[in-house]
Structure formats: structure tokens, C-alpha cells
């Protein structure tokens, strides 16, 4: 057993009695109540999921295993020669809640290299799809295509004890995660670089190999590490994480669960917003025809969007009520690496103007930017200008937290998810509507 798996087993064994005790002794304690507006309104704020990999505070933003983003980046060992930790060290951290040593991180890097090879039929499936397919449709199809590789599904068919289920789920999660950079870069080069593929480099880590296969020079390897870690987890009520947890609760394997979540991430109100931010900004700059944008012009463009009934992409959030710290973290990267880049200046100008416009508009509960408002400008700067690809990057990142989460779901024996629905007539009865 690998050192990571051994450590994870210890953590699981220590955690199980906590869940058992809560269920047995405190199962009737209330943690939430549900109003009619919550039932109609997408269960906003209803506390009915348990996730230990991360927690999202509305005012503070995300904490991964109890650590804020700056604390996480400061605590994890940096990849040698890099400003950021490796994705593999973060995988150890999000799975176990403990910061790995540099040697332990190195061990995961070596383990992932062995799991990286993608079956040829996946590339064949992708090549058979129309080139006009959206990169997210390709990404989801590639993951589903690999379902036959699932160790969990095979072991389940043979007969698998409930408490042992986490082990094949861990194997599937690791196998799948290690392959995602290869699949992502393949889709990028298939669709946008005439299928001129760059083979994986066995000397490189998850982020470094991704940058290499994309064909983008340093420091894009660090961009990849930062980007994947920032997008990894946002507790489990969001569409992608919740879908992955929900589908896995039927004891569907990690391949089925992840591809389902990727389909949810492809929605414009969720992950696709990062593509839409860049589309919005580029359309806006085209209309300006090379003129320097001013705050007034940006304000007008924002109002035009709102008046046409569209949302301002990259702004607002279902839980957050302040600027997303994932936005801030990427802004700091830009301030360091591309402070004078015109597109970065425009994004900053939008940040100055948009919250005021959204407040005046009076609908959005949170007028502040989310992660998607800032991520595209970095990609654009490093030459990845094909913005329909951006949500695939988000998906590779999102896989890290959610695959860790479903491994824990099986470790703690969580049951199939099945909330109760009611009819509109029942709501009217409850409200005493005549």
C-alpha cells in the first residue's frame, strides 16, 4: 500500500467513529429548517450535505481542509523550482487533511506518473466526434468512455463490503485524476492546433506535464498548478460537486460520477462563466475598435447586458457575499506577472465599476466578482486564447476535490442520496393559501 493510502486509511479509521456516534446519539438534532422560498429557490442555504474536504464561508470564502487559499499555498511544499505547490501535494492534503512532506509529495508525483497513460480508444472516440463539439462535451465523453477501466465497478460485481468500498474508489479516483491533464491537452490540440499532439513528458509533474502538452512555456506550469488547486473544491452544494456526490451515492463509479459533474460544470451559470467573461470582454473591446476603454464606457456596456436580460458573467455567487478569494489570488498573480497587460487593466476597470452597477440594478445578492472574472485573462496572456476551452481547465481542477470527496463518501458509508419533493398544492396547503 502506498504511503498516501496508508495515511488515508488511518484518517478514515479515526473518522468513522465520529460519524457513527453522530448518527446513533445525535441523529435527531436539527441543523436547518426549510422554507417555501428555499424549496422553490434551489435549496439555497439548506444545510443537508456533509463534506470535510472544504468549507465555504459567505464572508471569508473557501477553506480547504481548514486552510484559506494563502495558508494552503504557504503550507504545502513547493514543486522544485516553482512558486506553487504541485497538484499531487494538494491531492495528499485534500484527501488526508495533512500537509505532506516534500518526499511524500514526490511519492504521489511518482505514483501519478504510473497512472497517467490514457487508453488509445479514448483518443479515437475524441477524433470521431465532430471538431465543432464543445471541448466540455469532448471532456465528458472521454471520461465516460473510460468507464470500463473502473476497478470499483469490477470489484462491486464480484462482491464488495461497504467498508471496503473506499479502496477501489481511491484507485479509480487516482487513475482518473492522473489522466485528466493528458485528456485536456489532447482536446485542446485536437480542436485548436490541427491535432498536432505533444506527447506527455514522464519527468514532469501534473501541472508541468499539462503545460508541456499544451505547448505553452514557463511559467504556464505554475499557472496550471495554481489554477487547478484554486478550482479544486468549493464545498459540495455547487452543481458540479453536488452532482458528482449524488451520482456516486448510487454506487456509480468515479468515471460516471465525474463525467456527470463535468456536464453540470458546462452550464453558463456555473463553470462556463469563465468562457463567457472572456467572450463578453473581447466583444466589448472589439466594439471599442482599439479605443482606450473608460469607466463610463464599461458602465454602459454592463447596463446594455443587464437591460438585454443577460447576467454579467463572473459576478455574483449563490453563497459568497464578498469578492471571491480565488479572484483575489489570481489578481495577485496578474499584478506580479502581467501588471501592464491591457486586458488585465480592463478586467480591473470592470471590477471597479461592476459592483456599483449591480447594486444599482438591485437584483444580485452579491455584486462582487467570483473566480471566473479573473481566470481567463491569465490564459489569454499565455496564448491560450480559445476561450471555449477554459471550462475544461476548471473541470480538471474540480476533479481534485470532488474525487477526494467521493472517496470519503465511500469510506464513511454514506447512503444513496434521496431528498423528498412535494407538490405545489402541498406548499399552498402548508401556507394556508385558500
Please state the closest distance from residue 348 (CB atom) to ligand COA, in A: 17
Q: 29 pairs with which residues across the strands?
A: none
Q: Does 281 interact with ligand COA (rule: CB under 6 A)?
A: no
Is the Cβ of residue 95 or residue 357 nearer to ligand COA in the bound state? 357
Q: Does 316 interact with ligand COA (rule: CB under 6 A)?
A: yes
Is 337 marked active-site? no
Is the Cβ of residue 191 or residue 231 nearer to ligand COA in the bound state? 231
Check 134, 231, 234, 270 and give the catalytic one: 270
Is the Cβ of residue 153 or residue 241 nearer to ligand COA in the bound state? 241
Cβ contact 227:378 at 8 Å: yes
CA dist 1 and 12 (Å) reads 15
Please state the closest distance from residue 245 (CB atom) to ligand COA, in A: 18
In this chain, which of 314, 325, 376, 397 binds ligand COA, going by CB under 6 A? 314
Total number of residues that touch ligand COA (CB under 6 A): 19
Q: Does 311 interact with ligand COA (rule: CB under 6 A)?
A: yes
Is the Cβ of residue 62 or residue 76 nearer to ligand COA in the bound state? 62
Is 270 marked active-site? yes
Cβ contact 306:300 at 8 Å: no
Is the Cβ of residue 315 or residue 389 nearer to ligand COA in the bound state? 315
Check 205, 317, 324, 409 and give the catalytic one: 317
Please state the closest distance from residue 68 (CB atom) to ligand COA, in A: 18
Please state the closest distance from residue 129 (CB atom) to ligand COA, in A: 26
Q: Does 313 interact with ligand COA (rule: CB under 6 A)?
A: yes
Please state the closest distance from residue 362 (CB atom) to ligand COA, in A: 9
In this chain, which of 65, 317, 398, 410 binds ligand COA, going by CB under 6 A? 317
Check 52, 324, 372, 409 and give the catalytic one: 372
Residue nearest to ligand COA (CB): 316
Going residue by residue from 343 to 382, which x/- string records binding to ligand COA, judged by CB under 6 A?
Answer: --------------------xxxx---xxx----------
CA dist 108 and 177 (Å) reads 12
Is the Cβ of residue 100 or residue 135 nearer to ligand COA in the bound state? 135
Q: Does 390 interact with ligand COA (rule: CB under 6 A)?
A: no
Footprint (CB under 6 A) of ligand COA, residues 172-201: none
Footprint (CB under 6 A) of ligand COA, residues 238-277: 269-270, 273
In this chain, which of 173, 223, 312, 399 binds ligand COA, going by CB under 6 A? 312
Which residue has cell 512558486?
A: 83
Cα Dmax for the chain: 71
Is 409 marked active-site? no
Is the Cβ of residue 115 or residue 365 nearer to ligand COA in the bound state? 365
> Applying CB under 6 A, which part among 158-166, 203-211, 316-324, 396-404 lies near ligand COA?
316-324
CA dist 328 and 220 (Å) reads 19
Is the Cβ of residue 125 or residue 306 nearer to ligand COA in the bound state? 306
Residue whose C-alpha is closest to residue 323's, from 373, 390, 359, 364: 373
Q: For binding to ligand COA (CB under 6 A), which residues are involved? A: 269-270, 273, 306, 311-318, 363-366, 370-372
Active site residues: 270, 317, 372
Amino acid at each position: 500500500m502506498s504511503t498516501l493510502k496508508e495515511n488515508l486509511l488511518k484518517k478514515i479509521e479515526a473518522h468513522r467513529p465520529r460519524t457513527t456516534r453522530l448518527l446513533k446519539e445525535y441523529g435527531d438534532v436539527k441543523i436547518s429548517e426549510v422554507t417555501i422560498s428555499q424549496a422553490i429557490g434551489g435549496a439555497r442555504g439548506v444545510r443537508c450535505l456533509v463534506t470535510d474536504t472544504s468549507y465555504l464561508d459567505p464572508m471569508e470564502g473557501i477553506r480547504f481542509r481548514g486552510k484559506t487559499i494563502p495558508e494552503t499555498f504557504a503550507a504545502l511544499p513547493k514543486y522544485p523550482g516553482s512558486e506553487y505547490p504541485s497538484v499531487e501535494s494538494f491531492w495528499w492534503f485534500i484527501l488526508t487533511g495533512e500537509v505532506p512532506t516534500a518526499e511524500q509529495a514526490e511519492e504521489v508525483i511518482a505514483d501519478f506518473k504510473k497512472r497517467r497513460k490514457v487508453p488509445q480508444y479514448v483518443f479515437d472516440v475524441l477524433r470521431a466526434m465532430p471538431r465543432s463539439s464543445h471541448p466540455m462535451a469532448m471532456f465528458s465523453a472521454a471520461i465516460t468512455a473510460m468507464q470500463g477501466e473502473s476497478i470499483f465497478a469490477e470489484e462491486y460485481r464480484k462482491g464488495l463490503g461497504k467498508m471496503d468500498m473506499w479502496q477501489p474508489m481511491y484507485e479509480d479516483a487516482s487513475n482518473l485524476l492522473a489522466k485528466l491533464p493528458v485528456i485536456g491537452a489532447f482536446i485542446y490540440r485536437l480542436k485548436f492546433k490541427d491535432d498536432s499532439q505533444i506527447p506527455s513528458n514522464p519527468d514532469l509533474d501534473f501541472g508541468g506535464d499539462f503545460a508541456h502538452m499544451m505547448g505553452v512555456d514557463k511559467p504556464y506550469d505554475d499557472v496550471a498548478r495554481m489554477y487547478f488547486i484554486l478550482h479544486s473544491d468549493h464545498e459540495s452544494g455547487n452543481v458540479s460537486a453536488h452532482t458528482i456526490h449524488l451520482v456516486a451515492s448510487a454506487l456509480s463509479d468515479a468515471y460516471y460520477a465525474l463525467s456527470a459533474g463535468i456536464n453540470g460544470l458546462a452550464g453558463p451559470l456555473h463553470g462556463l462563466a469563465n468562457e463567457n467573461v472572456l467572450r463578453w470582454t473581447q466583444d466589448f473591446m472589439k466594439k471599442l475598435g482599439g479605443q482606450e476603454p473608460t469607466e463610463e464606457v464599461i458602465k454602459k456596456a454592463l447596463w446594455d447586458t443587464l437591460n438585454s436580460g443577460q447576467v454579467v458573467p463572473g459576478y455574483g455567487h449563490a453563497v459568497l457575499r464578498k469578492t471571491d478569494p480565488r479572484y483575489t489570488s489570481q489578481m495577485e498573480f496578474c499584478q506580479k506577472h502581467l501588471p501592464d497587460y491591457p486586458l488585465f487593466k480592463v478586467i480591473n476597470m470592470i471590477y471597479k465599476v461592476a459592483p456599483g452597477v449591480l447594486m444599482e440594478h438591485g437584483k444580485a445578492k452579491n455584486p462582487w466578482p467570483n473566480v471566473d472574472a479573473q481566470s481567463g485573462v491569465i490564459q489569454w496572456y499565455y496564448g491560450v486564447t480559445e476561450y471555449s476551452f477554459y471550462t475544461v481547465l476548471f473541470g480538471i481542477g474540480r476533479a481534485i476535490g470532488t474525487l477526494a470527496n467521493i472517496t470519503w463518501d465511500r469510506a464513511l458509508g454514506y447512503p444513496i442520496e434521496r431528498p423528498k419533493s412535494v407538490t405545489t398544492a402541498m406548499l399552498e396547503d402548508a401556507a394556508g393559501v385558500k
